[in-house]
Amino acid sequence: METKTNIIDLESIRKDFPILTRKVNGKPLIYFDNGATSQKPQAVIAAIEKYYTLENSNIHRGIHTLSQEATEAYEAARNTVQHFLNAEHSKEIIFTSGTTGSLNLLASSIGKKHINQGDEIIISTMEHHSNIVPWQMLCEEKGAILKVVPINDKGEFLMNEFENLLSDKTKLVSVTHVSNTLGTINPVKEIIAKAHQKGALVIIDGAQAVPHTKVDVRNLDCDFYVFSAHKMLGPTGVGILYGKESLLNDLPPYQGGGDMIKTVTFEKTTYNELPHKFEAGTPNIAGGIGLAAAIDYMNKIGVDKIEAHEHELLSYATKEIKQIEGIRIIGEANNKASVLSFLVDGTHPSDIGMIIDKLGIAIRTGHHCTEPLMDRFDIPGTARASFAFYNTIEEIDTFIHALKRAIKMLL
């Protein structure tokens, strides 16, 4: 296969993803919907299958061999995530159901402990609904105020405006590391430092960052970092909440139930230590193990190489798409991840999506769970191609050709 980039061994990598060999509508699948969820390598599928085939058992309280093996595998997965993020302790890694689960946990626990009437919470214009709605619900409950950092026409976070919004009333800042709609990579280290100067806590939504770039939570100095496994080669239904130990210790638990307790009487319950305090009930054991397999797979290729290859894909696709008449790119930040959102004059994104699906090409169309961002650009939605490291230059050529055909049919 002609790849025109030699940063990674694409031919062998693509063989690791069984789904990439299938046909859709009679054409070889071209999967450009990685922002929604990535495909899974055989190593991840095999790890999940091995768990259910040979190790399936409930964790933590069992004394029998299977339970101990399952517990060891699950806790080893936690250690893998710890090293992936460069967290100080494995107890700072909480397994959740995903980014949305992690953010709702934080809204509930931080809300109970730290948010009062008149307090302010800052987010940005480019947040996913899952980093908007939990804060709106909390503000409504507590009488707190939600403030929103504007962006410029290129889709970049406006640092000056952020500084103007920060005040002694700011209790929390929650912003995305990478925008799922625009691809913008936000200067989160600077955002965190400025928020800390005002004594605010900072949450970073890393759902679109961890699949593409190295994240070091200690270097960033974020208080909390959240992401989903399924966008970074892992299974659905599992995600991570990283939090600094002292802050997590200080927060009340989210849900009550098994595993999160130390002792229970009808008079009083005492809570378990980290990380179990935030993990009530039987978790997604296979999911945690699958996530660790995904991290191992990414590490084997090298996250720096993944990033470099995806950067080439984005540059090439951007250059090619700009040559099509009537194209408007939404999101032209200087620092961008491999997301290409666009509109074509005189056409509707969903018509384009439907036509190129007939040619085996999967892109996403709509508001991408960022309706306020669509309002900012005064558009109903976009067509979005989002690339992963297993995508090729040749696939982009086929996509551009298909796009031209679709436009011809529609105009």
Residues 225-244 within binding reach of ligand PLP (CB under 6 A): 228
Q: Is the dihedral of CA 58, 63, 65, 70 positive or negative?
A: positive
Q: Which is nearer to ligand PLP, 8 or 149 (CB)?
A: 149
Q: Which is nearer to ligand PLP, 100 or 109 (CB)?
A: 100
Biggest alpha carbon distance in the chain? Answer: 72
Active site residue 369: yes
User: Interface with ligand PLP by CB under 6 A: which range of 48-56, 202-210, 379-387, 400-408?
Assistant: 202-210
**Size of site (CB under 6 A) for ligand PLP:** 13
Asked whether position 130 contacts ligand PLP by CB under 6 A, the answer is: yes
Q: Which is nearer to ligand PLP, 34 or 272 (CB)?
A: 34
Q: Which is nearer to ligand PLP, 80 or 130 (CB)?
A: 130
Q: Which is nearer to ligand PLP, 3 or 228 (CB)?
A: 228
Asked whether position 38 contacts ligand PLP by CB under 6 A, the answer is: no
Asked whether position 395 contacts ligand PLP by CB under 6 A, the answer is: no
CB of 323 to ligand PLP, least distance (A): 28
Asked whether position 386 contacts ligand PLP by CB under 6 A, the answer is: no
Asked whether position 128 contacts ligand PLP by CB under 6 A, the answer is: yes
CB of 138 to ligand PLP, least distance (A): 17
- Among the listed residues 16, 205, 310, 312, the single contact to ligand PLP using CB under 6 A: 205
Asked whether position 207 contacts ligand PLP by CB under 6 A, the answer is: yes
User: Interface with ligand PLP by CB under 6 A: which range of 16-24, 95-103, 139-147, 326-334?
Assistant: 95-103
Asked whether position 174 contacts ligand PLP by CB under 6 A, the answer is: no
Asked whether position 109 contacts ligand PLP by CB under 6 A, the answer is: no
Asked whether position 99 contacts ligand PLP by CB under 6 A, the answer is: yes
In this structure, the chain runs to a length of 411
- Among the listed residues 104, 170, 208, 365, the single contact to ligand PLP using CB under 6 A: 208
CB of 320 to ligand PLP, least distance (A): 25
Query: Would you say 386 and 31 are in contact if contact means Cβ atoms under 8 Å apart?
Result: no
Active-site residues, by number, are 369
Binding stretches for ligand PLP (CB under 6 A): 98-100, 128, 130-131, 176, 180, 205, 207-208, 228, 369
